Structure formats: structure tokens, C-alpha cells
Amino acid sequence: MTSSQDVDTKIPSGIDLEVRGDSKPASKPEIDPLDPLDELPGEVEMSIFDHLEELRQRIFYSLIAVAVGVIGCFLFVKPIVQLLEVPAQGVKFLQLAPGEYFFVSLKVAGYSGLLLSSPFVLYQIIQFVLPGLTRRERRLLGPVVLGSSFLFAGGLVFAYLLLVPAALKFFISYGADVVEQLWSIDKYFEFILLLLFSTGLAFQIPIIQVLLGGLGIVSSKQMLSGWRYVILGAVVLGAILTPSTDPLTQSLLAGAVLGLYFGGIGLVKLIGK
């Protein structure tokens, strides 16, 4: 009877041992809700040539949209001109140079077409910059774009219903007993278009405040602490943006700017900044 030998339990080198059992896979690390990934772009980075090609396409599509809008507005420019002449009741417009009304029509169609095509142009801009935005910036994008559109439209309505009639009434009544109101149609539309669009841009003040507050650049307390300079700036801005020199129009625009600024402070405070 042979004696029992010890069994060597060592595993030779070079041989992999596969362990079978009920062992659970390692759990994935939990994602911190305050992860710094919020500060990084959420898309795969593109090369510089891809960016340039996309930029070329976005610009091309935007120019096509603007051209279509301008041509469409030029085909129906007469109703637009008549609508913009409504605030100047009792004034007779003259064409003081050959082709003056034609160039006015081009100007009105250009502004109107740019306004109509602006949503599509804005969409192209958003699609271009979206891959480079962080997650936190993307969360601000939707409310900012929507609010900016409503505020710009509100600025146009405010200027058309209040600022333009107030300015025209001042000019008409000032020299009513001395001169007859015969206005150049080119000068009138230069005045009204500039006033409309400058007021629409001035109404973007709360959007700028929300962006600065949401990104942590300026707090609501800091905005409120400089109220004296804001009042001075509103008066200066009202004088610059209004093409007229009457104090009533400048005061109306300055008051609107102040109301928008303090309303913007309320919005910044509402989002916890």
C-alpha cells in the first residue's frame, strides 16, 4: 500500500483562474449633484474646420431667411407704411427727391424683414453655440430667449403706442401757429424706425440682469446699491435713444428703463441671487 502524498494546491504561473460564484459587480460611483461637469460642455468637441463649416452654413441659412423676409415685406410694404403713418395724424408727407418713397420702402421692408426673420436667425445662433455651453448655461438659455423676445415685442408696442405719439404731439403743437406741418417722408420714417428699435433694445435690460445674476457675476444687492447711478444712466439713455429732443419722450423712456431695471432686480432676487 502506497503512502499518501501531499497535494500541491499552488496554481502554476501563467494560468488564469476564473472564479464563479455569486459575487456582485462593483457598484458604480454615485454622481455628485454638484459635479464640476456642470461647468463643462456637454457635447463632443469639434475641430476648428468643423466649426468653420458649421458657421458658414448657419450664416448662409440666416441670410436666406433675411432675404426672404425682406422680399416678402417689400411686396406688402404699402400696408406697413400706412400702419407706421397712423401716429402722425394731421401731417401731410411729401416726397422731396426723386425715388425718396422707393428708398423709404426699401428701408421699411429691410427693418420689417429682419424683424420677421429674427426667430429663425436666433435659432441658427443657438444651434451654433449650444455645443459649447455648459449645463448651467443651457438651463438659462430657454427662459432668456423667450423673455428677450417678449420684452423686445413689448418695447415695440410701448414705443408705438406711447413714445411716438407723445413726441409727434409735442412737435406738431409746438409750431402749429407758425408753420404748416409738411414733413419729409424719409425723415419721418428714419425717426420712427430708430425710436421703435432703440426702445426694443432698451427693454432687454432685465435679460442682461438675469444673465449676470444667474452666472454669479453680479448679485441683486449689488444692483440695488447703485440705484443713484442707475437713475442718472436712465436719463442719459433716454436722451440718447430718443431721436427727438422733447422732455416728455425722454422722460417716458427713462421711466420705462428704471421700471425695467428694478423689475430685473426682482427677477434676480427671485432666482436666489
Which pLDDT score is estimated for 46?
A: 66
* Secondary structure element (H or E) that encloses residue 115, with its range: helix 100-129
Which pLDDT score is estimated for 1?
A: 45
Alpha-carbon span 171 to 273, nearest angstrom = 45
Q: What is the mean pLDDT of residues 229-250?
A: 79
- Residue 6 zone, left/alpha/beta (φ > 0; ψ -120 to 50; rest): beta
Which pLDDT score is estimated for 77?
A: 93
β partners of residue 94: 184
The residue ranking higher by pLDDT, 2 or 138, is: 138
Helix (H, G, I), strand (E, B) or coil at 194: helix
Alpha carbon separation from 111 to 103, 192, 194, 243, 253 (Å, rounded): 12, 11, 10, 17, 21
Which pLDDT score is estimated for 157?
A: 93
Alpha-carbon span 137 to 262, nearest angstrom = 24
In this structure, the number of other CB atoms found within 10 A of the CB of residue 232 comes to: 12
The residue ranking higher by pLDDT, 157 or 128, is: 157
- Residue 245 pLDDT class (50, 70, 90 cuts): low
**Please, are residues 207 and 152 in contact by the beta-carbon 8 Å criterion?**
no
Alpha carbon separation from 187 to 110, 157, 168 (Å, rounded): 16, 21, 13
**Please, are residues 5 and 100 in contact by the beta-carbon 8 Å criterion?**
no
Q: Is the pLDDT of residue 43 over 60?
A: no
- Residue 112 pLDDT class (50, 70, 90 cuts): very high
- Residue 244 pLDDT class (50, 70, 90 cuts): low
- Residue 30 pLDDT class (50, 70, 90 cuts): very low
Question: Any idea which of 70-74, 108-112, 194-198 has the lowest mean pLDDT?
Answer: 194-198
Question: Any idea which of 93-107, 175-189, 251-265 has the lowest mean pLDDT?
Answer: 175-189
Alpha-carbon span 127 to 142, nearest angstrom = 12
- Residue 223 pLDDT class (50, 70, 90 cuts): confident
Helices 247-270, 164-174: crossing angle, 10 deg rounding? 160
Query: For residue 111, what are the contacts with CB-CB under 8 A and spacing of at least 6?
Result: 193, 197
Residues in the chain: 273
